[in-house]
Amino acid sequence: MNNNINLISNQNVLLEKESRRLKRFRLISIICLIIVAVASILIFVLNFTLPLDSVKKEQVTTASNIAIFHKKLVTYTLIADRVKNISNILSQRGNYLPQVNDILGKIPTDVSIDGLDIDTGTIAISVSSTSLVSLNKFIDDMVSLGAQGKVIKDIVIQGLSLNVNDSKYILSMKAVIP
């Protein structure tokens, strides 16, 4: 007998494998085609419903609004910082208003104030008059205020001069404020 007889053909098995492979590739290609078609339709719908130009215009408008608010925020921050600094300065500054009012109340009518400078703990005043008698009265009043020690103390006359052009005497004084 012949042992080489093959009742099952190898070609049919190979043909079936090729056929299955071809079916798989067709299925994969159809799935890819459907995915590309759905993605294209979604992109078209999104592009149609949300135009890119309007989004860019909204972006520019929003950026300009943010820039305006940024300027306002910077201005607000600077003003708030200045107010805080001014408040700190005012809280640290002494109140010399009663002393200045007492000094100004002692100035005779024919004496004019040329300068008034208040530093921490000191006051410098420059007055002028056509009469030495009025300046002498002012000096006496300042000495009496200094003797009390409540308004001023340690009065020092910085200078007494004559302005020939105006025929006025100029007196400069400096005093310590307690």
pLDDT digits (tens, 9 = 90+) for 123-141: 899 999 998 898 889 888 8
Average pLDDT of the residues of the chain: 85
SS3 sequence of the chain = CCCCCCCCCHHHHHHHHHHHHHHHHHHHHHHHHHHHHHHHHHHHHHHHHCCHHHHHHHHHHHHHHHHHHHHHHHHHHHHHHHHHHHHHHHHHCCCCHHHHHHHHHCCCCCCEEEEEEEECCEEEEEEEECCHHHHHHHHHHHHHHHHHCCCCEEEEEEEEEEECCCCEEEEEEEEECC
Taking the domains of the chain in order of start, what are their residue ranges?
97-176
Which position has the higher pLDDT, 81 or 17? Answer: 81
Among 18-32, 48-62, 155-169, the range scoring the smallest mean pLDDT is 48-62
pLDDT at residue 72 greater than cutoff 90 = no
Residue 147 pLDDT: 84
pLDDT band at 6 (very low <50, low <70, confident <90, very high): low
pTM here? Answer: 0.50
Percent over 70 (pLDDT), the chain: 92
Domain 97-176 superfamily per CATH: General secretion pathway protein M, EpsM (3.30.1360.100)
Among 39-53, 121-135, 157-171, the range scoring the smallest mean pLDDT is 39-53
